[in-house]
Structure 1
């Protein structure tokens, strides 16, 4: 794909910043709620103020979830900065001497990481893409850096079928909000189902090949990034209580205890519950322990935290905006209206398909798998039970739709953009092409199984 193509020019010229997109989506959601939702009898003329109240209420409702999301991103970043992962990245960059090779390898590894943890995949992919660019700059190689950046972001189209998938993990809990309607659905029925395992396999095989093809056809240019200067090492004098901060024994013992407690959960979980204990808090707990253990001291761990925390700035400042959008969609009934509209035209065959499309649409306004499940879950599961569709399949259809339009919604690209120094309009032309590939894979799997 050439830089002067009309497609690239159109996308790059039309896209504002992610924060501006969030504000515009807020205004659009409020307008749609005014136009299509029922007005309360006592607020016929003051409905615009009521919608603003919905927005303000929702603005603060996801603080706990925001903290969980920020932690999973920060701790995933911290893990990617450990010597073990850093060595792995540096070794992999040696094979990235062309755009096609780099795009293939970055996308392949990023997708694999996405099945482990979405925060890890996002940051690992970003750091990998940045390292590839720095290595190319040092060696005088020409690359299509935006395409490599898109390859580092592609894991966000695959993550919801992995171990950090919000909707599958939510319904696997024994106290989720729909437990009385659908019971507990173990991840062996969702994440480890034949459909999802096949879907994941196709993503790993096909998407990197598409990136390779795009790399072959795209124009490359010289990389011009500000390289980080290495600071001179000096012997730091460690006194008194500071010895604890630098102690390998204490840090590794602390990390081992946390990892032990996390692994122990596997053995103390009742038989038949499967891996239902794997939730956002569990993953954060495990990542915390691994981070301390692999960094080898509290001092190094905290330095990594300081380096990683900036990547969560976009989440912390923009997530309340999207929570406000969710408040409007939830309290006004707009989100339910979207889901119900798709459900009304569905049958047993088409419900998973329309669930995917509705989830993809809602994800543009509410880019949160967990938040989206809260809005759409009750309607989707009720329709599935009414039409005789497998509820686990409906959960995965929503998961696929949620992750699909991440390639169109730049919210989760914020950490990657900060690390790579690219702009959203640089990577989105390529990520939208990949979105069409993902759509084909997801639709095929939902029809076959």
Structure 2
């Protein structure tokens, strides 16, 4: 086997290894293109599986059905937030100033594989600050790269790379809902605060062991993204996939009737942005700025204002919104199913009063020890996250028994949160839930990218579980800190 070296003499992966990764990604992609269901069917199957699980523990059929119906609309606020994430991100990105910045970034990579790795780096770094920015900005960067005539870019691999922030690192960064909740006692339910106490960032996302995990996962993700990306004739461009990238002229050349003059005047835009700026200033000066921007309502409000301002004229802004709306279709119809799944897991209890989620948790806690707890809970959180892809909401459900188990087994409480965070991202690599806004922007389907994200999962899963187990031994237990 021929070993290649860099100019400084350090070893790089062999051509054979790169070929194996590319063949794996291509093979899974061919399989998924043939067999992987539409994301809606994927969510519907998950509903059936969870319902059968609830019935298996003794939950009455009526209770399971009621839980599904009650939960169906429970994610409506979040569904609208995610739809606006896609809309606002698109509107900002197609504005003339943002388009120029993204176009400049898109000129930096010199080849197809380096472009895929570049997208992965942008996605991962952005996710550490805000997962929503990571999704939308990275997706629009992929669109800009795909428009380069001198670059043969595999659009599927680049789309998967744009998703890596959500599949690798986001929950280990500042937008981690679990870490944010535990660091802010005013945000925690009182019952949960009495169990967990306050766990500051210094014990979770800024823990040296946690930052080491981020570094390792970043390097691994970039290598896999680079080595698994098809090149040459094997790469499929956006045009070959039937994706139209031209957004067209978003502003008509001139008004067609006298009543249109306000649509082409920036006057309304200026007045609304000024009014919104007052609220934004109050929000960021009275709260922690990181907490403020991590709130989806604040994020969407700021980005909509920014979209209005950067597009300048109301007609251009409205045309951009109209073009972005089709990207939200998957979010609007599928997220209610996930709300139903969450309620079946947590509300459809057996006669004993214990729901399926707690049965699963108790099983994993029962088979754990001080040494094995991080790995076992990592596996459990990954499995549950596959069916309930939620951040802070699921932590509120899980935290009472996860933290109690950690206290019983003398496991570092901050590391218990990190276990949840790191494992939380893993199922995202193959679960279409978080992909939907990105796929809408890219004009792709989940089966187009899952071959590449599955290749990432094959490496990430054992790597994450191993690090959760190995690094736990370097941390000592500390009792909860009560406010």
Please state which band the TM-score falls in when normalised by the shorter chain: 0.7 to 0.9
Q: CA RMSD of the aligned region, Å?
A: 3.1
Alignment partner, residue 368 of structure 1: 390
Cα displacement (A) at 1:274: 9.4
* Match of residue 68 from structure 1: 81
- 1:240-279 superposed matches below 5 A: 243=262, 248=266, 251-252=269-270, 254-255=272-273, 258-259=276-277, 261-262=279-280, 264-265=282-283, 267-269=285-287, 278-279=294-295
Of 235, 256, 260, which aligns to 1:220?
235
Cα 1:434–1:63, aligned 2, differ >3 Å: closer, same or farther? same
**Alpha-carbon deviation of 1:167?**
2.3
Q: Deviations over 1:72-129 (max 9, x none)?
A: 4433333333434322221222244532122111111122222232222212222222
Corresponding position: 1:323 with 2:339: yes
- 1:134-187 per-residue CA deviation (whole Å, 9 max, x = no partner) reads 32xx44x53322212211221211222233323223334413232332234444
State the 1:328 CA deviation.
0.6
Aligned equivalents of 1:293 and 1:110: distance in 2? 25
Cα shift readout 1:244-286 (whole Å, capped 9, x = no counterpart): x5554663565466456545555534xxx89555533343344
- 1:448 aligns with 471
Unaligned runs of 5+ in 1: 40-46
Unaligned runs of 5+ in 2: 1-21, 350-354, 473-483
Is 2:381 aligned against 1:359?
yes
Aligned to 2:138: 125
Which residue of structure 1 aligns with residue 177 of structure 2? Answer: 166
Q: Distance in 2 between matches of 1:276 and 1:48?
A: 41
Pairing 1:284–2:315 present: no
Alignment partners' CA distance in 1, 2:289 and 2:413 = 17
Q: Taking structure 1 as the reference length, what is the TM-score of the superposition?
A: 0.85
Give me the whole-angstrom Cα distance separating, in 2, the residues matched to 1:86 and 1:71.
19
Cα distance 1:83–1:221, how it changes in 2: closer, same or farther (>3 A)? same
TM superposition shift of 1:399? 1.9
After TM superposition, the structure 1 = structure 2 runs for residues 41-52 of structure 1, keeping only pairs within 5 Å, are 47-52=60-65
Counterparts of 1:137-176 in structure 2 under 5 Å? 138-139=149-150, 141-157=151-167, 158-173=169-184, 174-176=186-188
Q: Alignment partner for residue 22 of structure 1, among 35, 43, 68?
A: 43
What SS does the corresponding residue of 2:368 show, helix, strand or coil?
coil
* Range moving further from structure 2, 186-195 or 119-128: 186-195
Per-residue CA shift, 1:29-73, capped at 9, x if unaligned? Answer: 1111111x244xxxxxxx222211111111122323333333344
SS at match of 2:433: helix
Cα distance in 2, alignment partners of residues 350 and 114 from structure 1? 29
The 3-state SS of whatever aligns with 1:410 is coil
Q: Is the 8 Å Cα contact of residues 256 and 289 (structure 1) preserved in structure 2?
A: no
- Say whether 1:91 aligns with 2:91: no
Answer with 59-68 or 97-106: which moved more.
59-68
TM-score, normalising length: structure 2: 0.79
What CA distance in whole angstroms lies between the structure 2 residues aligned with 1:308 and 1:392?
Answer: 40
Residues 214 and 27 of structure 1: is their aligned pair in 2 closer, same or farther, counting only changes over 3 Å? same
Q: 2:371 & 2:298 partners in 1: Cα distance? A: 36
Secondary structure of 1:116's match?
coil
Show the counterpart of 1:430: 452
1:202 counterpart = 2:242: no
Shift of 1:214: 1.7
Cα distance in 2, alignment partners of residues 217 and 207 from structure 1: 18
| Closer, same or farther: CA 248–348 of 1 in aligned 2, 3 Å | farther
